[in-house]
């Protein structure tokens, strides 16, 4: 199995990671090896097997609708990279929606 540079770039883009041109071969190979490992299992028939998302508990407990969290903005923003007027600041967003 081989993974193209374009595939690696597509996935990196989704994950917001930059892959330098010099790294593309390595990342493509890493990805291919993990997929190859898995592709060996192709012969195992899993049709009709219910996917397992959670190993132990069966269903969700529900929380009563009460306000339990107090918000200490100063404490929560202590390590924030950039704050102005209580807002997190990022470079200007060109609104897509």
Partner 1 sequence: MNAWQPVIGLEVHARLLTRSKLFSGAPAGYGAAPNTRACAIDLGFPGVLPVLNREAVRMAVRFGLAVGARIAPRCIFARKNYFYPDLPKGYQISQYEDPITAGGSITIEPAGGPRRDIGLVRAHLEEDAGRSVHEGFGRGTGIDLNRAGTPLLEIVTEPAIHGAAEAAACMRKIHTLVRWLGICDGNMQEGSFRCDANVSVRPAGSQTLGPRSEIKNVNSFRFVERAIGYEIERQIDLIESGGEVVQETRLYDPDRHETRPMRDKEDADDYRYFPDPDLLPVAVGEAFVAEVRDGLPELPDARRDRLAGQYGLGAADAAQLVSYREVADYFEAAAEAAGSAGSEDAADAARLTANWVNGELAGALNREGLRIDEARVTAGQLGRLVRRIADGTVSGRMAKAVFDAMWGSGEEPDAIIEARGLRQVTDAGEIEGLVDAVLDAHPAQVDQYLGGAEKVLGFFVGQVMKRSGGKADPRQANRTLRERLARRRDEPPAGQTP
Partner 2 sequence: MTAPAPDSVAGIAAGLARGDFSAEEVARRFLARIEALDSRFNSYITVTAERAIEEARRADDARRRGSAGFLAGVPVAHKDLFCTRGVRTTCGSRMLANHVAAYDATVVELLRRSGMVTLGKTNLDEFAMGSSTESSHFGPVCNPWDPERVAGGSSGGSAAAVAAGLAPVATATDTGGSIRQPAALCGLTGLKPTYGRVSRHGLVAFASSFDQGGLLARSAEDVALVLGEMAGFDERDSTSLDAPVDDYRARLEAPIAGLRIGLVEEQFEDGVEAGVREAVGAAVRVLEGLGATVRPIRLEYADVGIPTYYMLAPAECSSNLSRFDGVRYGFRAPGVSSVEELYVESRTQGFGVEVKRRILAGTYALSKGYYDAYYGKAQRLRRLIADDYRRAFEEVDVIAGPTTPTPAFRLGDRLDDPIAMYLADVFTVGVNLAGLCAVSVPAGFAGSLPVGLQLTGNHLEEARLLNVAHRFQQATDWHLARPPLAEPAGGTPAGRTQDGGTRGGGTQGAAGASEPGPTPAARGRR
Residues that bind partner 2 (CB under 8 A): 7-8, 10-12, 14-18, 27, 30-31, 33-35, 37-38, 40-41, 44, 46, 49-57, 60-61, 63, 72, 75-76, 78-82, 88, 90-93
Token pair, residue 41, equals: 């299992």
Please choose, out of 1-9, 20-28, 36-44, 69-77, the segment that lies near partner 1 by the rule CB under 8 A.
69-77
* CA neighbor of 86 nearest in space, from 76, 58, 33: 76
| The binder of partner 1 chosen from 14, 41, 42, 44 (CB under 8 A) | 14
x-marked contacts with partner 1 along 19-58 as a string, rule CB under 8 A: ----------------------------------xx--xx
Beta carbons of 2 and 32 less than 8 angstroms apart: yes
Residue 8: Cβ-neighbour burial (10 angstroms; 0-12, 13-18, 19+): buried
At 74, is the secondary structure helix, strand, or coil? Answer: helix
* Local structure of residue 19 (DSSP, 8 states): -
Contacts to partner 1 by CB under 8 A: 14, 16, 53-54, 57-71, 73, 76-77, 82, 84-97
């Amino acid at each position: 199995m081989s993974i193209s540079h374009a595939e690696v770039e597509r996935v990196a883009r989704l994950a917001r990671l930059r892959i330098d041109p010099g790294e593309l071969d390595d990342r493509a190979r890493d990805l291919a090896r993990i997929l190859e490992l898995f592709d060996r299992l192709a012969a195992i028939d899993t049709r009709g097997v219910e996917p397992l998302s959670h190993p132990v508990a069966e269903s969700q407990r529900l929380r009563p609708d009460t306000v339990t969290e107090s918000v200490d903005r100063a404490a929560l923003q202590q390590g924030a990279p950039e704050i102005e007027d209580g807002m997190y600041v990022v470079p200007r967003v060109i609104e897509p929606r």
